[in-house]
A and B are shown apart, each in its own frame.
Chain A
Amino acid sequence: MRRFFLIAIPYAWLLALFLIPFVIVFKISLSDLALSIPPYAPTMKDGFAQMFADFDLENFVFLTTDDLYWKAYLSSLKIALFSTALALMVGYPMAYGMARAPEEWRPTLMMLVILPFWTSFLIRVYAWVGILSNEGLLNQFLLWTGIIGEPLTILNTTTAVYIGIVYTYLPFMILPIYAALDRLDESLIEAAEDLGCSRSKAFWLVTVPLSRNGIIAGCFLVFIPALGEFVIPSLLGGSGTLMIGKVLFEEFFNNRDWPVASAVAVILLLILIVPIILFQRNQQRQAEAET
């Protein structure tokens, strides 16, 4: 009996507050916009037969006809991919440096990587506004050194969004790669070098392949949240930066078109399913390899 409650309580909670809301999103994405509150025509009360009769793919068709949505999905994918690559380029050397740092430094370095994660996400993104703006600190510094003659426009461009994503998700990239590099057996690299590999060749042929699982995990941990990101493009990006999270938010709050917002959410979810499944597989393989 006790076991029943132990299972039933969290189960029921997640069903009610996680699964059922998705069913509702799905349902609303298939219903018509009505000028009432709530601004969609409810289709559940009229019984199931009527509900299915009322369903139509109008909202999804609308998404394909208005090229704003296509562009937003594509540009979200592009921004997420590109910033994942950038985060890997910044994060890998850091993880590598941490793994090769003296033993007694490592707990401190670990804490330094984790600390930003506990600090408010919003504040960390906001910190860049004062740095990247036209009269911001970066421009002041560059003008002072004489590298540039005129302030660069970085804030409200896609470049600022890249910087923001790499900055906020960098710890997610570093930690799994560091975990993989930390486990790496040093003697394997020595063996490669003894057998005539140069240092860089040993790095590319031994170190990188052996840290593959960490690289994959890190890339997914950056890519997946970056794809649906809302705060970073809204705060750092300009009107030219289209990202689907922002489009969804605006569709919902500014245009109050709930059915279209729901359809946008359903498609975003469909796009995310592939990377999420690949990520889960990678994690499982890694867990199996350890046991």
Chain B
Amino acid sequence: MKRTSWFTVTSLTLGFAFLYLPMVLLVIYSFNSSKLVTVWAGFSTKWYGELMQNEEFLDAALVTLKVAVASSTLATLLGTMAAYVLVRGGRFMGRTLFSGMIYAPLVMPEVITGLSLLLLFIGVGLDRGVLTIVLAHTTFSMCYVSVVVSSRLVSFDRSLEEAALDLGCSAFDAFRLVTLPIIAPAVISGWLLAFTLSLDDLVIASFTTGPSATTLPIKIWSAVRLGVSPEINALSTIMIAIVTVGVISASLVSKRSAIKAQQDMQAAERGAT
């Protein structure tokens, strides 16, 4: 047992205060009844009411959700395929280029990705709107999915797949019945990651959207450029609440399933001896 020194306690307290204080203040001031955001004038939920009436925000939220669901699902499919190819695919022509294209988007500045995709869409004459944002988001988030899934694929025992093949499974059945259940947690967290990346993206969406589709970040952006507004504070609070509930429940579920997996393993070992 290590001694918890004053240094540990201070650095953690100050550090986490720095990380969380701005968001806590944002949440508190979303309940401020004053229009002046920095002057506290009493508790009120009126900004939430106004937000619910604001159809532009609701429309933008709907577009954002559509884009996020479509792009993260597509990205999960493509990213899982790409991870499988990278880890299990063996050698094929252009493998280096392929893995380069998987890793490059992770470190690419968003302005460059956005600019290049826009120029492509204009070049091929594709109308900009929901479809082009989905294509753009799928492209960069499939790379994140593939990194998450491939780290799981690397760590699991390949002989399980081989055993299934020996016992007469076709390659596809072996994937469906053995590989997929094992990598499922990584696939799910890859989907969640892709989903949040898409919800969150401002720069790439600004480049690839047209007048027909405004996503929530674009809407928030044009509002916050004019300064702080209580409605945006309310909207931010709702988004922070959703994320907090989501992350905490996901971590509880994964903790439970980890315990269950451990119990299964122990039971299997007992059975074997």
A residues lining the B interface (CB < 8 Å): 2-3, 6-7, 9-11, 13-15, 17-22, 24-25, 28, 38, 90-91, 93-94, 96-98, 100-102, 107, 109, 111-116, 118-124, 126-131, 133, 135-137, 140, 167, 170-171, 186, 224-225, 227-231, 234-235, 245, 248-249, 252-253, 258, 261-262, 265, 268-269, 272, 276, 279-280
Question: In the assembled complex, how far is the CB of residue B199 from the closest CB belonging to chain A, in whole angstroms?
Answer: 7
Cα(A269)–Cα(B78), bound, Å:
26
Q: Considering only CB atoms and an 8 Å cut-off, how many residues of chain B contact the other chain? A: 82
CB-based contact B26/A265 at 8 Å: no
Given A137-B25, A227-B109, CB of A265 within 8 Å of CB of B116: yes
Q: B62: which A residues are within 8 A, CB to CB?
A: none
Q: Give the complex CA separation of A116 and B1 in angstroms.
A: 29
Complex interface bits, B1-19 against A, C-beta within 8 A gives 1, otherwise 0: 1101101110110011011
Q: With an 8 A cutoff between CB atoms, is B131 at the interface? A: no
Determine the residue in chain A with the shortest Cβ distance to B36: A135
C-beta contact mask, B100-112 vs A, less than 8 Å → 1, else 0? 0111110101111
List residues of chain B with CB within 8 A of the CB of A272: 107, 109
Question: Which residues of B does A touch, CB under 8 Å?
Answer: 1-2, 4-5, 7-9, 11-12, 15-16, 18-20, 22-23, 25-26, 29, 37-38, 78-79, 81-82, 84-85, 89, 92, 94, 98, 101-105, 107, 109-112, 115-117, 119-120, 122-123, 135-136, 138-139, 142, 146, 171-172, 196, 199-200, 202-203, 206-207, 217, 220-221, 224-225, 227-228, 232-233, 236, 239-240, 243-244, 246-248, 251, 255
Residue of A nearest to B117 (CB): A21
Q: How far is the CA of A76 from the CA of B107 in the complex (A)?
A: 16
The A/B interface has a contact count, at CB < 8 Å, of 224
In angstroms, Cα B13 to Cα A90, docked, is 12
In the complex, are the beta carbons of B81 and A129 less than 8 A apart? no
Do A114 and B247 form a contact, CB below 8 Å, given A7-B85, A135-B38? yes
Given contacts A97-B8, A109-B12, A123-B26, contact A102 B244 (CB under 8 A): no
Q: Which residue of A lies closest to B224 (CB)?
A: A126
Residue of B79, B172, B243 near A119 (CB, 8 A) is B243
- The docked-state distance in angstroms from the alpha carbon of A122 to that of B255 is 30
**Docked pose: A113 CA to B247 CA in angstroms:** 12
B221 A10 Cβ-Cβ under 8 A: no
> Which residue of chain A has the shortest Cβ distance to B1 in the bound complex?
A102
User: Are B107 and A17 in contact (CB-based, < 8 A)?
Assistant: no
Q: In whole angstroms, what is the CA distance A262 to B120 when docked? A: 12
The interface residues of chain B lying within 8 Å CB-to-CB of A136 are 38
Least Cβ–Cβ distance between A130 and chain B, in angstroms: 5
Q: In angstroms, how far is the closest chain B Cβ from the Cβ of A99?
A: 9
Q: Whole-angstrom distance between the alpha carbons of A27 and B16 in the complex?
A: 47
CB<8 Å pairs between A and B, sample of 17: A10-B85, A14-B82, A17-B117, A18-B105, A25-B112, A91-B15, A100-B8, A115-B247, A119-B243, A120-B199, A123-B239, A124-B22, A167-B18, A228-B111, A235-B225, A248-B112, A265-B112
B203 touches A22 (CB 8 A): no
Query: A17-B135, A127-B23 are known contacts. Are A6 and B89 too (CB-CB below 8 A)?
Result: yes
Contacting residues, chain A, for B85 (C-beta < 8 A): 6-7, 10-11
Cα distance A62–B192 when bound, in Å? 44
Q: How far is the CA of A248 from the CA of B114 in the complex (A)?
A: 11
Given contacts A14-B101, A25-B112, A101-B4, whether A231 and B203 have CB atoms under 8 Å apart is: yes
